[in-house]
Amino acid sequence: MFGLTFEKLLIIGVIAVFLLGPERLPHYAAQLGRLVRSLRDMANGAKDRMREEMGPEFDEVDWKQLDPRQYDPRRIIRNALSDADPFAYEPPKPVVARASVNENSAYLQRKRKREALGAGEPAPFDSEAT
């Protein structure tokens, strides 16, 4: 929750006690309680309104599947551009990168030279290398 740990909240509470003093602290605590209660009532009101407008389909929706933290951006774009059902679950497919192999690449040439060296034979030395 916004990176606040219990220790940080405790420190904020102690600072509030010192700043507000014992006379004003109960008043501000009551205001905070009313604010939290009104926010909870608004959230429940929005949920009830959604349930009324969507009807019985509201309870059938799998809300965890619609959690944006579970989406892969590439899959979101792919689903938006396709004609498939956007709410159908499809497991991610493994991505395999394939590249053409150049038999004359420097890496393969060095690898062949290393494999061609016998046991105890020194590696080739390039005097012009930096």
pTM of the model: 0.38
- Nearest one of 1, 27, 7 to 15, comparing CA atoms: 7
Quickly list H helices, 55-118. 57-60, 73-81, 106-116
Q: What is the pLDDT of residues 28-87, one digit of tens each?
A: 889 989 999 999 999 999 988 888 888 877 777 777 777 777 777 787 787 778 766 656
The three-state secondary structure class of 74 is: helix
Selected residue with higher pLDDT from 118 and 106: 106
Q: What is the pLDDT of residues 2-32, one digit of tens each?
A: 677 889 988 988 888 888 888 888 888 899 8
